[in-house]
Structure 1
Amino acid sequence: NANLSLLDDLLADARTESGTTGVTTAVTLDSVPVDESLAVEWTVHARSVANPAKVWSGKILAVHDGTETADATQAKHTAFAILKTGSISQLDFDVDLNGAGSTQVLRLRASSGEAADLRAVRSVVTGA
């Protein structure tokens, strides 16, 4: 059915998974064009490489003040629904803006004081 195929395509665009291994310094886990998003929610999972029993999982919700015709100047985020087993040293998440015009993106960034494997699943609220 053409309608189901279209729905599958739209859902695939709205939900994206990314990840990286052995994170110790600041890295970009994911980015989404400002022009294509009103709000973004990431479900994030982190696991210590040295001690796999140390796990952090939670959600990060972010918004920005940009529009299709004006660059964003602010990005705000909050972490919530956090579950932990153990404590991954200095695990930190941030959301920032990078670029300008049609290439401006909202980025999910992470760093850790010990090597950690990170995964993020993105859901986007679009203006369409």
Structure 2
Amino acid sequence: MIIKMDFEADHPIYRQLVDAIKEGIATRQLEPNEALPSVRSFAADLGINMHTVNKAYQILKNDGFLLIHRQKGVVINPQLPGADQAFLDKCQNDLKTLVTEAVCREMDEAAFMKMCQSLFHDLKEKRGNKR
């Protein structure tokens, strides 16, 4: 999986890395039990600080996407978290922020819904093609 960092973006580097790894898992570019590079190696490959990679890994571990073993290193969790109530609450909160901005910018509801559906279907399609 190729990960590209946008060093000029407003989005922090660690967040870009978290999002890229989650997308890799969603599209099955990263499979359950697959090993990820060590913090040092990944940082060198991406040209970023080791602490940035470590922060991203810790967030993904806390969210249930990664397992960190002293001997095996960092691997994709074979038992990924489900859509529990905590996730649904987070999802609703994140969507509320996006919907609020869309309303402020007078975006058409149908266009917003079409965009959401398109993104969802694109990821599901990529996921299906990896099996």
Q: TM-score, normalised by structure 1?
A: 0.25
Q: TM-score, normalised by structure 2?
A: 0.24
Q: Which has the higher contact order (CA 8 A, sep 6+)?
A: 1
